[in-house]
Structure 1
């Protein structure tokens, strides 16, 4: 049977229209630009937000994830905004007919027919609100439905929805008003988040609380009518107080910036940082900098030695201080004597020296270069171990002269510490490297000391939890042999500890740290670097503009902070072996538990300060750390008054003046040990 001509014409017209629409769809795709420009959220290793970066014009626009949004909110949103969302293809004909009928009967526009998909199209390409724009939005909605799933459309809508001011998207609103992700929301919060986008500036709870409260109540009534809430619950939620707007997370300022640089194009970046440790060390840096002076800055880096994961990074003591916006962990400064352990390590590996090798610490000239010790005195015949522990300059330069300054600089560069050295063309001039004549960053010094604590194997630091910022399969670079690393660590562990600190060997549970200090020429930089208990820590203290701080050395200005950092870091290390900074067991060479003690437990014993001792008070006003042995927790008293405890929980005491004091330690059984000590100060004359 032959079809009539008009039927064929209709079919041809339909096919031509369909083909035209397909061509038009291909030629004019929707602009998804705004949907791809999202704020970057940087979190710690546990997923807690540390810092959020805004997009253009300072807008907070966080990518929504429907799996991380309260399902009750999704149900309420669809009930209020688009009940047939999962049934239509972008445009809802029934909604159009209903809107036209009700508006015609009322003589004015009563309700719109925009679907969530049409609203998403409008958010992607904002246009004036008129009939022509509505037609374009309808076409764009059909295009979006062809390209995206329903969940993807919802996520796009919930990423771009305006919530007033510079807030866009449900996550930004939830952070600003509730201080957290929208994974769990109360009824009043759900209603507010639905009401706000309908008139974002008019209903802002922080600026127009009356309008916000009224619109929230209207949404609650709507949800109660739909059966999503009971009337009583809706009434109760309507009486809840409105939230105020809070700031977005802005912790780990410099570390978050580094993480974003290492993960370009990623909007959710999980770092290797421990948020608790990071916050605690930021507070420590602020307190220490305040005490040191208004123009002093502090940089701290804590690295898990085994994995090289950065667990805390303090780029400055505060952005409100001079130079505070600069990440001082990434600025090259003279490292002073912190490189001496690596000079001796090279000499050990070359067979030039060993820990017991004796060297002459006497005045000596190396062509035009004539080093001298910090205190301008010489010790004569010393061992390499003594020279390193007391940071003697002449022996270090003598060792560097033997191994070669250029070769030493090349070994540092090979390990990942790319020193900035002036090209003098003279190998003799390069001998100043031994005393800090090279520029290194805190990060590079951390690479070297982490290698020292890891058997001499140098590897790059990792800032991301998934380690995607480094080549994890790349072989480590050998900075020194494991035997040499062990020997250098052993020497540095026996170096003189800072005032008020007992060596780890004499205090049970104390961190076993191999550490070295450094002071640059002219007292411009104070350094302390150490490795132990599964961590590597580097501390830098100084003025960001490089001006001197006369008399402030690494031992005085940075070493006490280093020990404080180790104390805090150990509290964040899990007890099990997860590779997260496992602490060394002080009883590695102890007999089995049943043989450790014979008979009854012993009464407490005061290790520091011992009975009858004379102790010089710290000139910088730092308290003494009291140490003892006993059963269970020891309670400490000085002249009958309870002793304070520091951030690590250790008993501390700051002598108010010179004189005699009685220190007592009491164990769980009530047994007491006492020590009578004399505190001396500079007023008593020089120490002997």
Structure 2
């Protein structure tokens, strides 16, 4: 009994001791937890295919490329485990046999031959560095046991793959593979897998870019072991041993720095996968650097390429050179707010078509106008009189765009763009006005490019996708028919063709823009698959004389388009087609009325073929104040002889003539002017006067005159005057408003060139003359 009692007492003491030991282990685990989380982790931004674009190092300057075991070649895993820890999948974190063997080898040789550390123990040392002492070894064993307790074998292997040192600031096989070999770790050959497996043993001494002979000897040692242990075929090992170890200097990720900085806040992942195409991004950045020498001083550029089939951003270049401080290279101009110039014009024409206000052949008036103190002019100076909507869009004329926006409504225009993802930035407390269409509000290149996708996405503007997980979000902006028509006009296919002759693949459609004072030059283009946005200018907003969209941005747009056209996705069946929507049909209309008329109708002064949306033929859009006889429909009463008579005259028959709006008179042939179009008045029963304003006549210089400088004089004084008309006069010289307002002025001309002088009165009448100074 006494013996039994003694045994029970010992078992109780043993159980108590084990319980206390277990509690001590738990307490130690709580007091000294595994240091798995970093305060400032190393992060990397990668392209869609995994190519690293830009790295953000941790607090110690280390950069990593996070991988999982599935992301790494099986050859590397085999070489690593066979060389470092054959029993990794079976031991509990430490291998007593390996430790005993290493201790015996060290004692018998009098020096450290091998460490006997398992892969888990190496991970423990990487997570919690310690001195190479007995106490440090105990700490390493404790950490290894902690790792096996809390993590799976796969998690421990993942930690090693991402924390193993590879020389300098490189950690992890992913970073080493990209930096040393320029390839993904999943693509390692037998030779490369063996090389990277041995590098962490002595990363500084074995760096292949500095000590290729040492690295090759260490690699061959791994290959020999893979052969003797029968892991790899002898033929593969022999081929790998014949490969020399010779590498370029380490390659650091150097692509898309401004874009990478932008997406860094979008994700909490250590490896941020984006939608960029690494090859295209590299081509675009090389193009930007080559183009930099052509830019004026302190100027930069921005380019963005979007695959409008899925709205993925494929390239993003925010500046010409991020290292050039004189060009503000650190400023991302893709996201900067700038004046868009004329790039918004396609939207207002498309919206007006959807509203039934115009069609592509609508007669618009490119004539001097004033709305309060606002007097817009054209970029190319001068005015062109009667123009069609499609012609006004192709030539980027300002006055027709202002006319259409005034009819559509600036507030409605800005609201629809904002709803589709293109906010127009106005000064505080300012309301949308007519200046919007000429760049009177700020916008971002990224938003403009996204909105232009509506012309290729059947009228729906897509939101840019910069991360693969970003959902495809699109909002209606235009009808499919209006979007198709505008895209074809911008692509040079405004004339209707039969479906059999109409190219199914849309050509490059593009639009330029130039902001006030030559501060911004834009070009936005759409080819069959991509939407391209280009901006050039000075980030500080100072003017660049002579910079405008066609000269500065279009050549760059064409080069980008040429690069895109050579890509495999633009060949054969992969090119998206652009069939004509059922809502679009061909038609023929007549000017000046803007609608179709029977053949032989005398009111059809000019016949035009055009595309029509829903077969809609809205009448000609008039300017405010052009109602009645100042507009197009001019009622007359005729007698049997065809002479104009008063309405109450015997046998008077009413007839409606369609005449050109009064402001277009100076640009019309003599036979088309009202005086020539109206039948002669009857002497026996003349018509009553109809609020006719006396015609505005400009004199002092004849049409087509050539004026020459007098000897010794630098300038020429040219007095001109107007007669007739009504009210105040406004004068325009080459589209620029003059300060003079009287009926007679004197021009001081110095520069030898062609001039266009225009006078306008309160009634909207215009007189014009073109001449040349030599």
TM-score class, shorter-chain normalisation, is: 0.7 to 0.9
SS for the counterpart of 1:311 is strand
User: Once the 2 structures are TM-superposed, how far is the Cα of residue 89 of structure 1 from its aligned partner?
Assistant: 0.5
Q: Distance in 2 between matches of 1:338 and 1:361?
A: 18
Kindly report which structure 2 residues correspond to 1:290-305, keeping only aligned pairs within 5 A, or say none: 290-293=293-296, 295-305=298-308
- RMSD after superposition: 3.6
Tell me by how many angstroms 1:416 deviates: 0.9
**2:80 touches 2:198 (CA, 8 Å); kept in 1?**
no
Structure 1 residue 314, shift from structure 2 partner: 2.5
Q: Secondary structure at the match of 1:94?
A: helix
Q: Distance in 2 between matches of 1:235 and 1:132?
A: 45
| DSSP 3-state at the match of 2:186 | coil
Instruction: Please tell me whether the aligned partners of residues 390 and 495 of structure 1 are also in contact (alpha carbons under 8 angstroms).
Output: no
Residues 1:547 and 1:320: Cα distance change in structure 2 (over 3 Å): same
Question: Aligned runs of 1:244-643 on 2, under 5 Å?
Answer: 244-262=248-266, 264-293=267-296, 295-321=298-324, 322-423=327-428, 425=430, 430-464=433-467, 466=468, 468-470=469-471, 472=472, 476-494=474-492, 512-572=507-567, 574=569, 582-584=576-578
1:303 Cα deviation after fit: 1.9
Q: Secondary structure of the residue that 1:549 maps to in structure 2? A: coil
Aligned to 2:36: 32
Superposed CA offset, 1:234-254 (max 9, x none): 798288344343212323343
What secondary structure does 1:243 align onto?
coil
What are the within-5 Å matches in structure 2 for residues 60-79 of structure 1?
Answer: 60-79=63-82
Question: How far apart are the structure 2 equivalents of 1:275 and 1:192?
Answer: 26
My pick for the range that moved more, 165-174 or 35-44, is: 35-44
Distance in 2 of aligned mates of 1:96 and 1:181: 35
Change in CA separation of 1:178 and 1:514 when aligned onto 2, cut-off 3 Å: closer
Structure (1 or 2) with the greater helix fraction: 1
CA contact under 8 A between 2:40 and 2:59: conserved in structure 1? no
For the Cα contact (< 8 Å) 2:41–2:270, is it kept in 1?
no
**Shift of the alpha carbon at 1:117?**
0.7
Alignment check: 8 A CA contact 1:389 1:496 kept? no
Offset at residue 123 of structure 1 (A): 0.4
1:277-315 superposed Cα distances (whole Å, 9 cap, x missing partner): 333333333333433445443322222223222233222
The residue number in structure 1 matching 2:47 is 43
1:51 to 1:109, Cα distance in 2 relative to 1, 3 A = closer
Q: State the Cα distance separating 1:153 from its structure 2 match.
A: 1.1
Candidates 175, 179, 182, aligned match of 2:178: 175
| Alpha-carbon distance between aligned partners in 2 of 1:279 and 1:200, rounded to the nearest angstrom | 30
Q: How many residues align?
A: 574
- Give the superposition deviation at 1:186: 4.7
1:78–1:346 distance in 2 versus 1, CA, 3 Å: closer
- Quick check: 2:79–2:222 contact (8 Å CA) kept in 1? no
Displacement, 1:156?
A: 0.7
Contact 1:38 1:63 in 2 (8 A): no
Q: Deviations over 1:19-76 (max 9, x none)?
A: 33234334432110259934324123x4444444433333222223222333333333
Consecutive unaligned residues in structure 1, runs of 5 or more: 498-504, 590-684
- Cα contact 2:206–2:212 (8 A) shared by 1: yes
Does the C-alpha gap of structure 1 residues 244 and 129 become closer, same or farther in structure 2, counting only changes over 3 Å? farther
The answer (yes or no) to whether the contact 2:190–2:236 under 8 Å persists in 1 is no
**Tell me, which stretches of 5 or more residues in structure 2 are unaligned?**
585-753, 756-771
> Is the 2:334–2:446 Cα contact (8 Å) retained in structure 1?
yes
> CA-to-partner distance for each residue in 1:129-162, whole Å, 9 max, x for gaps?
2222211211111111122222221221121111
- The TM-score, its normalising length taken from structure 2, stands at 0.67
**Higher alpha-carbon Rg:** 2
* 3-state SS of paired residue (2:204): coil
Contact 2:449–2:533 (8 Å) recurs in 1: yes
Q: How far apart, CA to CA, are the structure 2 residues paired with 1:584 and 1:112?
A: 68
3-state SS, counterpart of residue 58 of structure 1: coil
Aligned to 2:19: 15
Seen in structure 2, the aligned counterparts of structure 1 residues 557 and 110 have a Cα distance that, compared at 3 Å, is: closer
Write the distance in 1 (CA, Å) between the matches of 2:171 and 2:141. Answer: 23
